[in-house]
Chains A and B, each alone.
Chain A
């Protein structure tokens, strides 16, 4: 089992460019999440999808959009990248019961210049 797969692993963008970060899970999990990790800030929730067909904003949604394409896939889109969006982005999934925790992907390291 691959678990949670994120692509790409690394990306450099110019300010104003757009891109989509891809995430797929093969564990038949209901819920999926996008977090960003910045030094000294821990993991902050951008968007989440509690179940297929639903998406909701998290703590830091500005500048991002998401799509829950199907039960397996949850993508994160930056429409017009800004240097403040330089970060490491993690996708995670869970069965839907938070007590079991998440399974994380290995992250996408994004630099906006």
Chain B
């Protein structure tokens, strides 16, 4: 299936800072999804993107569907300690399942 490359692998930031992460694919996607995994839990869907160029917000989170359809970006503004977790991008893999990136691990210090 299509490979999804996420960067950075990990981030260690102070509370209040803004965060940016991205995901690139070797193939075109029609849908981009962003998930967050809290420690010890399963991933939870944050944002879904369906159209090239689309910009969607969910509270302090904003995600964009890249115009090439091969990338997507997630920004978190004014980070807080509960933002800690692993953020995954995902996209449909040949129509039967989702492919996931390896994740960006976020640590926030007060």
Contacts and interface: CB of A to CB of B under 8 A. Distances in A.
Interface of A: 4, 33, 35, 40-43, 45, 48, 50, 56, 58-59, 90, 92, 98-107
Nearest to B49: A99
Contacts, number: 57
Contact of A58 (B48, B88, B95, B97): B97
A103 B41 CA distance: 12
B33 A101 contact: yes
Interface of B: 1, 9, 30-31, 33, 35, 40-45, 48, 50, 88, 90, 92-93, 95-98, 100-103
Contact of B45 (A33, A58, A101): A101
B48 A100 contact: yes
A43 B88 contact: yes
Contact of A99 (B31, B35, B88): B31
Of A92, A102, A104, most B-chain CB atoms within 10 Å: A102
Given A42-B88, A42-B102, A98-B31, A106 B96 contact: no
Nearest to B92: A98
Contacts of A59: 1
A43 B100 contact: yes
Contacts of B103: 42
Given A101-B45, A101-B48, A105-B42, A41 B98 contact: no
B88 A98 contact: no
A59 B94 CA distance: 13
